[in-house]
Structure 1
Amino acid sequence: MARVAVLHNTLDFRGGADAVCVHTCAALAAAHDVALFTISETTPDAVGAQFDVDVSVPVVAPPGASNVAAALSAAAPTVGPQLAARSVLLRAFFRRHASAYDVAVSTANELAVPLPSVQYVHFPQFRCDTTPTADPGRLNGVWSRLAAPAADRPDTRYLANSAWTADAFEASYDRRPTVCHPPVDPIDGAPWGARADRIVVLGRIAPDKRTLDAIDVVDALRARGHDLTCTIVGAAPAAYRDYVADVRAAADSRPYVTVETDVPRGRITELLGRSRYGLNLKPIEHFGMAVAEYVASGMLAFAPDSGGQVDVLDGDDDVLFEGVAGAVDAIAAAIDDGLQPSLPRDRFGRDRFADAIRRQVAAVCPD
């Protein structure tokens, strides 16, 4: 049994990266002594409930961590999520505790740590000036000097959530991670003929997810004569409270659009299992947990033709698109042609993910 420190900058956005974190903690806790280092207001239990993961590990946080997390969330509408900065803060705190652990597992991208490690990359957070499609920001060079890892360390294993992310990481670090798709179990659902003509927009409500654009897509489809409804369901992080208010206002003015935030997992699976269509509008999604959940629940999923979601949808041109107009055309054509889902629902199961994480940790554990 190894002493394992899981490092995750923040759970407060309650998205796909946070699902990977709680799944990792759960996978390792059965065989190792695991502690979670994070700077968050949100507890791992809350994230676990959102993603149907039973996780019970101690949390180690700096003094005043919840206040720091709250302040960063409050400032996010102005300065952005500052994930790299959060990682730098977490690393500085962890270094004072590292000697108590055998292995570190970063579930929120690459990070310089002073012991053997497994690092799960959703998208490179450092050296962004050399990363295709990244927006470095003014301070990324500073954060990189403070916390970017030396990629040639032999006792570090890198994992990436998609082939696209692996390409981006390799461009920055000249080392290719092993692709390990995030965990998404099959979701029980009704037969196609018994499902509602409803578009579900699942996931964090935020500007980068382009949730408001989804409402425009539904408006355009209804204008073409398709009697569709839309349910937007997902987390409403405090960092995006102004945008969430805009989404609610847009929905309130349309009887065919509803918004449900921070609902129990059972409600999410109910919606996915009883609806026909799933829509994601974020371009260059690093993986696309929502898209994978659409597939896992037997929905017909639509997503931009970029990033890791191309992996998830197996490069199917019928359901990949560019821009709002492209989304409208793709969904309208699918409805007119009677297109139904054909991808296997069990491609990304949690057992596969847990086995991969355990193997990687075993490979770097000291003898």
Structure 2
Amino acid sequence: MARVAVLHNTLDGRGGADAVCLHVCEALQAVHDVTLVTLSRSSLADLNALFDTDADVRVHRPAGTGVVCRAFDALPDRYGPQLAARSVLLRRLFAPHAADFDAAVSTANEFDLPLPSLQYIHFPQFNCRHAAAGDDPRLDPLWSRLAGVGDRSLPADAHLLANSGWTADAVESIYGRRPGVLAPPVDPVPNPRPWEDREAGVVVLGRLAPDKRPLEAIGIVDGVRARGYDLHCHLVGSTSTIYADYARRVAAAAAERSYVTLHRDAARERVMELLATHRYGLNCKPAEHFGMAVAEYVAAGMVAFAPDTGGQREVLDGRSDRLFDSTPDAVATMTAAVANDDRPTLPRDRYASDRFHAAIREGVAAVLGTAEGVA
């Protein structure tokens, strides 16, 4: 049994990357002594309930985490979540404790760490200006340099995984190393209704945040209804102090429409019920690095729609009749599927969590083998 540190900058956003972190802890806790190191105030109990996980590990929050979180939480509505800055700080605070562990697992992208590591990359957080699909944040050169990766190289003993082929391309373009691809865990929804018994409604799953574009999703449903199809919409969103102002705007837009229902921080059982009883799933975030919500729609036996960019194209097998490039195109694409009574065709068990857990355990074993000098 090895001592393994799982590093995650913040779990307070309550998104797909955070679900991956909880699954990694769950996968490793039975075979290793695991400590989660994070700048996050969220409790494991709350996150387990949200993500339907059973992580039960030691949590180390560096001194001053509460103050740091409050400072960062004041920024996102205007400046974004500042994940790179959080990661720089996490690396600095973890460094004095690194010798207490045999290996580390990052579930918050790439790090320059002083011990062997497995690094799960949702999308590069540093040197993003060098990726064709990346943003060009003004402080990217600064954070990259402070993170120790300003020369665009990662430690030789770091084993890399990416959540999609699209993300792997971005990592390779920056660091010259191509990660293996391991899609996040998404289990089939239990007991889905037969298609004929499902409600003609749209589920929009994801945190209430600007990048997820729930307001655009409402506009798409408005457009389909304007073409004569009586769809209703369920916005199922986790909320966070990080995006409090934006969440209030979404709530106001939902309240103006009788056919839109907002479910804030819904229990997992309620989320599963909505996915199992409705026909359509909609994602509106462009360049989604993987698309956890899209994968959940597929796992529920729904017909899913998403922007024609990013890893979600892989989840939907590149189907042009499920992908769109603008709000008008989304309205036309969804309207055609409803009018034709299109049925789901993709396998529901493609991303089952047991596959993910086994791959993570194998990856950590490989890291530990490398650390011991084993080929």
Task: Report 1:314-333 matches (<5 A).
Answer: 314-333=317-336
* 1:307 equivalent in alignment to 2:310: yes
Out of 160, 172, 178, the position equivalent to 2:174 is 172
2:340 match? 337
- For each residue in 1:216-241, what CA deviation from the matched residue of structure 2 results, as whole angstroms up to 9, or x when unmatched? 11111111110010000021121211
Between 80-89 and 67-76, report the one with greater CA deviation: 67-76
Comparing 125-134 and 350-359, the one that deviates more: 125-134
- Tell me what 1:105 maps to: 105
1:16-38, CA deviations, whole angstroms, 9 ceiling, x for partnerless residues? 00000000001001100000000
Provide the C-alpha distance between the structure 2 equivalents of 1:137 and 1:298, rounded to a whole number of angstroms: 38
Quote how far apart the aligned CAs of 1:156 are.
1.1
**Alignment correspondent of 2:117:** 117
Deviation per residue, 1:168-208 (Å, 9 max, x gap): 11111010000000000000211101110110000111111
- More displaced, 281-290 or 74-83? 74-83
Q: CA deviation at 1:67?
A: 2.5
1:277 aligns with 2:276: no
Cα offset for 1:152? 5.4
CA separation in 1, counterparts of 2:48 and 2:329?
Answer: 35
Which residues of structure 1 form unaligned runs of 5+? Answer: none
Q: Is the 8 A contact 2:291 2:311 kept in 1?
A: yes
Q: Which residue of 2 aligns with 1:184?
A: 186
TM-fit CA distance, 1:153: 3.3
1:272-331 C-alpha deviation (Å, 9 max, x unpaired): 000000000111000000000000011100001110000111111111111111111111
AA paired with 1:220? G
Q: How many correspondences in the alignment?
A: 367
Q: CA deviation at 1:75?
A: 2.0
Q: 1:236 aligns with which of 239, 247, 251?
A: 239
* Aligned residue in 2 for 1:364: 367
The share of aligned pairs that are identical, in percent, is 56
CA RMSD after TM alignment: 1.1
CA distance in 2, matches of 1:317, 1:2: 47
Corresponding residue of 2:259: 256
What corresponds to 1:81 in structure 2? 81
Match of 1:35 in 2: 35
What is the alpha-carbon distance in structure 1 between the residues aligned to residue 345 and residue 153 of structure 2? 39
Q: Which runs of 4+ in 1 moved over 2 A?
A: 148-154
3-state secondary structure, aligned to 2:280:
strand
**Are the structure 2 counterparts of residues 255 and 97 from structure 1 closer, same or farther at C-alpha, using a change threshold of 3 Å?**
same
Distance 1:199 1:25, change over 3 A: same
Relative to structure 2, which stretch is displaced further, 141-150 or 154-163? 141-150
Instruction: Name the stretch that deviates more: 149-158 or 171-180.
Output: 149-158
Q: 2:281 is paired with a residue of what secondary structure?
A: strand
1:247-288 CA distances to partner (integer Å, 9 max, x unpaired)? 111111110001111111001000000000000011100000
* Length-normalised TM-score, structure 2: 0.96
The equivalent of 1:129 in structure 2 is 129
Query: Partners of 2:44 and 2:109 in 1: how far apart?
Result: 18
**What CA deviation, in whole Å up to 9, does each residue of 1:100-129 have, x standing for no partner?**
000010000001100000000000000112
The code of the aligned residue for 1:349 comes to A
Shift of 1:148: 4.3
Contact 1:110 1:148 in 2 (8 A): no
SS of the counterpart of 1:347?
A: coil
